[in-house]
Amino acid sequence: MTKLLKISLPDGSVREVPQGSTPADIAAAIGPGLAKAALAARVNGELRDLGRPFEGDAELALVTSRDEADALELARHDYAHVLAEAVQALWPGTQITFGPATDDGFYYDVKAPESREPFGMDDLPAIEEKMREIIRADKPLRREVWSREDLIAKWEAEGEVFKAEWAKELPGTEELTVYWSGNDWLDMCRGPHLPSTGKLDPDAFKLMRTAGAYWRGDQNNAQLTRIYGTGWLNKKQLQAHLTRFEEAAKRDHRKLGREMDLFHLQEEAHGSVFWHPKGYRIWRELEAYMRRKMDGAGYREIKTPQLMDVRQWTQSGHWGKYAQNMFAVPDIVPDVDEESGVASPKVADDAAWMAIKPMNCPAHVMVFKQGITSYRDLPIRLGEMGCCHRNEPHGALHGLMRVRQFTQDDAHIFCTEGQVVSEVQAFIALADSVYRDFGFTYDIKLALRPEKRFGSDADWDKAEQELRDALTANGLEWEELPGEGAFYAPKLEWHLTDAIGRTWQVGTIQSDRVLPERLDAHYIGEDGEKHRPVMLHRAIFGSYERFIGILIEHFAGKLPAWLAPVQAVVATIVSDADPYAEDVAAQLRAVGIRVETDTRNEKINYKVREHSLAKVPHLLVVGKREAEEGTVAVRTLGAEHQKVMPLAEAIAMLRSEGTPPDLA
């Protein structure tokens, strides 16, 4: 007699079913509605196909579209498969590789057949149409276990060199599976999948773009075409996503930077920013804010050279590791032809080379090393608004977010072994207070030792544990990222979440025992002997350029009043009010409010529109009435109506709103 399997359901009930039963059978037994709605199953917590038989007694939870995270993951994975099937149906000879789900959809990396060019945007509509066909055909997705040899043979027979390569490396110990789409197409895949392509909504996905991607993420390998799509459970979700996508485009800092006249970039200095008066005003406010924060936290600000002899960078290890990303400058005087004024620099073979600093650390160690430091002086916290240059790969440059010249809110804390945890704790608190002031929430990640690194394992163990201890002491949770640390130190990273849910890595603290060693920094301990200090590298904004870019996108250009380049505009309705407008502006200026007047001969509608688009927080409209009564009509950005108030009240309001959060 065959033994019945006991399947327990989330409601606590237990069903007994014969061997070979599947979650789909249970769903059908419960009711036809559930049978139709079921997309997959969680069997003992593991997400599985509906049609995959139980292997023993189990806890079962059926997954429907109400289990959104699971349902989306399944749908996106299936969209990816359908995408690959569609591309191969349209262009036989296309090689397929991988196609995972992403945060908002899916992609598949493919290689176009030799007979045609790589796929491009123009191909997307045809592929989408073919995908819809496959979805409407409601092809069953069937799991099958294959031997490794059969898989390799299949891929080799079909000229799928990437798939064959991968199959050869799959561990022999694991059960290898394929999924059929109907009876005519299959892909090697761990699964799980929906029961059939018809469970996908043909109107809930959209192919977004194509891009190059390397096979297995290695730039020495073949370049494939990655086809990106966004995929959802229904059309409404897709629409909502596309709207969000447009929203993100509207707040693009490159676009707003031009519209708001904050900065520009140009070919002659690509990757370096030309800050305009309004953009630099934001910078100055941020810098003043950060100085107050750092002064208050016991940092002392220094300024160190832009150019240092390459010897210094060799000693620190940066020249060896990053020379290709550094700007090197020969220490020479170019010949100048007196007549023509033409300079012709020649670099002698024995010329001394200098390099523009790509970071501030070695220079800070040099400052630390001046004189003799006692343990009584520690910790020493040296801060610098350090302007650095890195010759980034050209394809990496992106507006303010990735530049070749940037200024960090940098600092290095030199401390004893025993002070590390409390210094990290203090920094965690400082960073928190800053991010709160800007209205960001964040997640903290701990990046652990990379494969290529300096320093002993014992030191790495200690350094990583100190960071964990500091987080624990501050009652915080974190995620660990193996292999992501810097070559000299593990790091904590602050990942901010902005107003539309995107994340940005900004702040960091790294506990470094390598650089003090390499540059021979020491202090005199209680015992009168020389000791190595630990060096904590840390930044909160990261770089001013990038942080301003993030702020622009976070606030969609509508910066809080304390950061707004122009905090108020006094606009006149009739020219009779001009003298009063100037008087109002003068009074505002006298209390430190950044104000402009607009007395142009234009309609008030025109002025309101223009200053609203310029994202000026407050518009003070004055006409005959206000001039006579000593009032202003205040129109706040985003509001549909205005409020008439006595000038004194308006000044008080603007002063309070324009006060930086740390001074409020």
Helix (H, G, I), strand (E, B) or coil at 407: strand
Confirm or reject binding of residue 635 to RNA (CB under 7 A). Answer: yes
**Given candidates 6, 244, 254, 369, which one binds RNA under the rule CB under 7 A?**
254
| CA nearest neighbour of 511 among 472, 471, 462 | 462
CB nearer RNA, residue 150 or residue 629: 629
CB nearer RNA, residue 37 or residue 208: 208
Of these residues, 25, 410, 512, 598, which one is catalytic?
410
Confirm or reject binding of residue 638 to RNA (CB under 7 A). Answer: yes
Q: Is 491 a catalytic residue?
A: yes
Sequence-distant (6+) residues with CB within 8 A of 370 are none
Confirm or reject binding of residue 436 to RNA (CB under 7 A). Answer: no
Q: Is 388 a catalytic residue?
A: no
**Given candidates 126, 297, 328, 644, which one binds RNA under the rule CB under 7 A?**
644
**Given candidates 93, 100, 212, 646, which one binds RNA under the rule CB under 7 A?**
212
Q: Which of the residues 102 through 121 are near RNA (CB under 7 A)?
A: 117-118, 120-121
Confirm or reject binding of residue 517 to RNA (CB under 7 A). Answer: no
Helix (H, G, I), strand (E, B) or coil at 370: coil
| CA nearest neighbour of 262 among 282, 287, 248 | 282
Q: Which of the residues 362 through 391 are near RNA (CB under 7 A)?
A: 390
Q: Is 361 a catalytic residue?
A: yes
Smallest separation, CB 171 to RNA (Å) = 23
Confirm or reject binding of residue 413 to RNA (CB under 7 A). Answer: no
CB nearer RNA, residue 211 or residue 336: 211
CA distance 619 to 595: 10
SS3 for 237-282, per residue?
HHHHHHHHHHHHHHCCHHHHHHHCCCEECCHHHCCCCEECHHHHHH
**Given candidates 250, 292, 589, 625, which one binds RNA under the rule CB under 7 A?**
625
Confirm or reject binding of residue 603 to RNA (CB under 7 A). Answer: yes
* Angle of the 68-90 helix axis to the 124-136 helix axis, nearest 10: 110
Confirm or reject binding of residue 358 to RNA (CB under 7 A). Answer: yes
CA distance 112 to 123: 12
**Given candidates 307, 429, 473, 574, which one binds RNA under the rule CB under 7 A?**
574
Find the distance separating the first CA and the last CA of the chain, reported in whole Å.
79
Structure tokens belonging to residue 546: 């990038």
Pairing of strands 568-572, 595-598: parallel
Longest Cα separation, the chain: 108
Of these residues, 130, 281, 412, 607, which one is catalytic?
412
Confirm or reject binding of residue 258 to RNA (CB under 7 A). Answer: yes
Smallest separation, CB 641 to RNA (Å) = 7
Start-end of H helices in 475-615: 514-518, 544-554, 578-590, 604-613
Confirm or reject binding of residue 604 to RNA (CB under 7 A). Answer: yes
Q: Using CB under 7 A, which of the segments 46-54, 222-230, 463-471, 654-662 binds RNA?
A: 222-230
Whether 468 and 520 have beta carbons less than 8 Å apart is answered as no
Tokens 């160690």 locate to: 365
Tokens 């129109």 locate to: 635
Of these residues, 402, 445, 537, 618, which one is catalytic?
537
Smallest separation, CB 111 to RNA (Å) = 10
Structure tokens belonging to residue 110: 């493919």
Of these residues, 95, 408, 419, 510, which one is catalytic?
408
Of these residues, 25, 77, 95, 361, which one is catalytic?
361
Gyration radius of the chain over CA positions:
31
For residues 467 to 506, the per-residue mask of contacts with RNA, x marking binding by CB under 7 A and - elsewhere, is -------------------xx-------------------
Smallest separation, CB 120 to RNA (Å) = 4
Helix (H, G, I), strand (E, B) or coil at 123: helix
**Given candidates 12, 32, 171, 217, which one binds RNA under the rule CB under 7 A?**
217
Confirm or reject binding of residue 277 to RNA (CB under 7 A). Answer: no
Could you tell me how many residues of this chain bind RNA (CB under 7 A)?
72
**Given candidates 175, 339, 457, 640, which one binds RNA under the rule CB under 7 A?**
640
Whether 615 and 260 have beta carbons less than 8 Å apart is answered as yes
Q: Is 598 a catalytic residue?
A: no
Tokens 């950044």 locate to: 594
Q: Which residues pair with 504 in a beta bridge?
A: 496
Q: Which of the residues 334 through 353 are near RNA (CB under 7 A)?
A: none
**Given candidates 113, 288, 609, 648, which one binds RNA under the rule CB under 7 A?**
609
Confirm or reject binding of residue 90 to RNA (CB under 7 A). Answer: no
**Given candidates 149, 218, 451, 527, which one binds RNA under the rule CB under 7 A?**
218
Helix (H, G, I), strand (E, B) or coil at 405: strand
What's the one-letter identity of residue 210? T
CB nearer RNA, residue 180 or residue 214: 214
Q: Which of the residues 306 through 335 are near RNA (CB under 7 A)?
A: 318, 321-322, 325-326
| CA nearest neighbour of 274 among 545, 541, 552 | 545
Structure tokens belonging to residue 369: 């090393």
Confirm or reject binding of residue 271 to RNA (CB under 7 A). Answer: yes
Q: Give residue 337's region: left, alpha or beta (phi > 0; psi -120 to 50).
A: beta
Q: Using CB under 7 A, which of the segments 166-174, 237-245, 474-482, 600-608 binds RNA?
A: 600-608
Whether 389 and 359 have beta carbons less than 8 Å apart is answered as no
Catalytic residue IDs: 361, 390, 408, 410, 412, 491, 537
